[in-house]
């Protein structure tokens, strides 16, 4: 089911986003740090006190809306008065995403940026009319789904225009079609992950896309950011699931993807998968689905070191044994996760590096895949830990951002970044990024895990924990810049699944080259000649 809308600032006229305005997710799921974790923070980082409390929602100061009464009247004429608001209580929850810098800015008592209004269109015709109106009146448009961006993808940038509005897609929340014969479904872009899965489950099907943002992110957001879920080893990345898209651009509507495969020129779906709202508004996505798995199996493993575990994961992926989930934590992450995880009865001690495997499908498929994977991991030096640690990982897999918020409240900065490269370059990339982060943030804990695997390479996901200290925004910006420079120098991708947004935009020329940037700019000029769509994101 879709998460209930959370209580927010007084005076909101519109339905609020499902997440708390100044923290991740549902406040009811937030947890206090345990005494053991507080002791670990004190010993490792010298963090012993609470951070200064931020303002309440009603105390936050926003820069005044730049929209005139005439602008608001024109917007209301398109979507109806009930679906537009310039109230601070509606603007604040859509003032950005949920990165640590986003949350630090929410804690500021200085005036903050926010969209000048929020609009909730209910049809493609209304979106087209809104885009035409905004182009005419020089108003930027930032598409808004679940609000989960951690790379500045929702920053309310005006891009030199008169104002900026947040275009909330929550009304595009239907299962539009389900083709059981072909195994495809058409989902509204505003459906959250849980809402989409609930609608599909009523018919016995599943999408199976479970990124950490699953509970709050939307189908349109998954497509616009090339999301990768925790079950991607079994079901693929979200862009691999997409069979078609409907996109409203300022110059017309596109309905892309009419066959399972085609040789009719370049695949135009690829222009919009990962476009982050800069080229058009995704309204519906046709996706590959599968029957709800009949059974699941779990097994966790330990490896003596990260190199041995990495070689084991490579062996499994290259022989194609088919786990739904396979991931590996380095020594530091394994140690910290054990300190922060509630113990399950009978859980064996874990040393070295922890790996998790999960298998889904029919009983016969699960048994075969599990047996083949198990044999490969044993041959590569793994030691089985049984089911318990893998089940514990699944139980808590969506809760890590709540811990991040608790650490922030306790005075510790906790942030993440990710990349990917081929297997040959993986060790050097990990060492370079770790060195860049520890040099920029002396004393910080840098944790790493392999989050997604491919026959030719894998993704590295880093978590950094450091004392908050003075001016944490500037310190983290310097550390992130150093890490991104290291990624570019080592030939890694600047982002594997978090997307580009505003934060990674400075490295896009390194990523795609000068000619690639010219192509992106040319497409942008053709589809969005007034430059209203999500300025300052993705395209250098």
pLDDT of res. 35? 83
Q: Is the pLDDT of residue 349 over 80?
A: no
Mind listing the pLDDT tens digit for each residue in 273-304?
999 999 999 999 999 999 999 999 999 999 99
pLDDT of res. 341? 59
Alpha-carbon gap, residue 499 to 511, rounded angstroms: 12
Q: Is the pLDDT of residue 344 over 70?
A: no
Q: Cβ neighbours of residue 429 under 8 Å, at least 6 residues apart?
A: 419, 421, 460, 486, 487, 490, 491, 492
Beta bridge pairs of residue 197: none
- Of the two residues 148 and 6, the one the predictor is more confident about is 148
- DSSP annotation of 3 reads P
Q: Is the pLDDT of residue 175 over 60?
A: yes
CA angle 529–502–414, rounded 5-degree value: 160
Alpha-carbon gap, residue 182 to 169, rounded angstroms: 27
Mind listing the pLDDT tens digit for each residue in 388-421?
999 999 998 999 899 899 999 889 999 999 999 9
Pairing of strands 84-85, 117-119: antiparallel
Alpha-carbon gap, residue 38 to 19, rounded angstroms: 26
* Cβ contact 447:468 at 8 Å: no
Q: Is the pLDDT of residue 1 over 60?
A: no
For tokens 């048994």, the residue is 367
* Cβ contact 176:219 at 8 Å: no
Alpha-carbon dihedral sign for residues 426, 427, 431, 434: positive
Confidence of residue 129 (pLDDT cuts 50, 70, 90): very high
* DSSP for 474-527, written as a single string: HHHHHHHHHHHHHHHHTT--S-SSS--TTTSGGGHHHHHHHHHHHHHHHHHHHH
Alpha-carbon gap, residue 425 to 420, rounded angstroms: 9
End-to-end CA distance of the chain: 38
Q: Which long-range contacts (CB under 8 A, 24 or more apart) does 343-347 make?
A: 344/388, 344/389, 344/391, 344/392, 345/388, 346/388, 347/388, 347/389, 347/392
Q: Is the pLDDT of residue 43 over 90?
A: no
Mind listing the pLDDT tens digit for each residue in 71-95?
999 999 999 999 999 999 999 999 9
Mind listing the pLDDT tens digit for each residue in 485-534?
999 999 999 999 999 999 999 999 999 999 999 999 999 999 999 999 99
- Summarize the confidence of residues 368-379 as an average pLDDT: 97
Alpha-carbon gap, residue 212 to 302, rounded angstroms: 23
Alpha-carbon gap, residue 24 to 147, rounded angstroms: 10
Confidence of residue 25 (pLDDT cuts 50, 70, 90): very high
Percent of the chain beyond pLDDT 70?
Answer: 96
Confidence of residue 339 (pLDDT cuts 50, 70, 90): low
Alpha-carbon dihedral sign for residues 526, 528, 530, 531: negative
């Amino acid at each position: 089911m879709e998460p209930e809308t959370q209580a927010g600032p007084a005076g909101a006229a519109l339905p609020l986003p499902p997440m708390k305005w100044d923290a991740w997710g549902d406040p009811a799921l937030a947890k206090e740090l345990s005494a053991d974790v507080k002791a670990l923070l004190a010993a490792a980082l010298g963090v012993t006190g609470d951070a200064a409390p931020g303002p309440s929602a009603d105390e936050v100061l926003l820069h005044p809306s730049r929209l005139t009464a005439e602008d608001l009247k024109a917007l209301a004429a398109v979507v109806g008065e009930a679906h537009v608001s310039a109230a601070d209580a509606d603007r604040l929850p859509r003032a950005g995403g949920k990165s640590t810098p986003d949350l630090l800015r929410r804690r500021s008592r200085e005036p903050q940026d926010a969209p000048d209004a929020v609009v909730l269109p209910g049809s493609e015709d209304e979106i087209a009319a809104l885009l035409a109106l905004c182009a005419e009146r020089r108003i930027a448009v930032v598409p808004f789904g679940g609000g989960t961006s951690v790379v500045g993808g929702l920053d309310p940038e005006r891009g030199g225009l008169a104002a900026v509005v947040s275009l909330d897609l929550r009304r595009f929340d239907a299962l539009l079609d389900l083709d059981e014969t072909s195994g495809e479904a058409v989902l509204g872009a505003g459906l959250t992950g849980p809402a989409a899965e609930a609608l599909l489950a009523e018919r016995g099907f599943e999408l199976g896309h479970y990124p950490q943002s699953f509970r709050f992110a939307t189908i349109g957001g998954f497509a616009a950011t090339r999301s990768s879920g925790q079950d991607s080893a079994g079901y693929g990345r979200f862009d691999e699931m997409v069979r078609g898209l409907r996109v409203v651009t300022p110059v017309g509507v596109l309905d892309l993807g009419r066959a399972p495969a085609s040789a009719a020129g370049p695949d135009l779906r690829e222009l919009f998968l990962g476009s982050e709202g800069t080229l058009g508004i995704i309204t519906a996505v046709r996706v590959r689905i599968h029957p709800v798995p009949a059974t699941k199996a779990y097994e966790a493993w330990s490896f003596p070191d990260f190199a041995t575990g990495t070689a084991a994961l490579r062996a499994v992926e290259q022989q194609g044994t088919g786990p739904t989930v396979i991931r590996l934590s380095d020594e530091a992450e394994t140690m910290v996760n054990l300190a922060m995880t509630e113990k399950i009865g009978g859980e064996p001690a874990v040393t070295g590096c922890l790996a998790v495997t999960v298998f889904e499908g029919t009983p016969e498929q699960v048994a075969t895949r599990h047996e083949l994977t198990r044999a490969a991991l044993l041959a590569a030096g793994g030691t089985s830990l049984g089911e318990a640690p893998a089940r514990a990982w699944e139980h808590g897999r969506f809760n890590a951002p709540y811990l991040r918020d608790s650490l922030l409240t306790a005075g510790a900065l906790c942030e993440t970044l990710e990349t990917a490269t081929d297997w040959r370059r993986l060790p050097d990339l990990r060492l370079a990024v770790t060195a860049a982060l520890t040099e920029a943030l002396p004393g910080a804990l840098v944790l790493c895990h392999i989050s997604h695997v491919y026959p030719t390479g894998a993704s590295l996901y880093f978590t950094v924990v450091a004392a908050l200290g003075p001016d944490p925004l500037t310190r983290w910006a310097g550390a992130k810049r150093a890490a991104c420079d290291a990624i570019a120098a080592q030939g890694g991708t600047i982002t594997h699944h978090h997307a580009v947004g505003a934060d990674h935009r400075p490295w896009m020329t390194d990523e795609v080259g000068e000619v690639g940037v010219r192509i992106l700019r040319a497409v942008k000029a053709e589809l969005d000649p007034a430059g209203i769509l999500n300025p300052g994101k993705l395209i250098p």
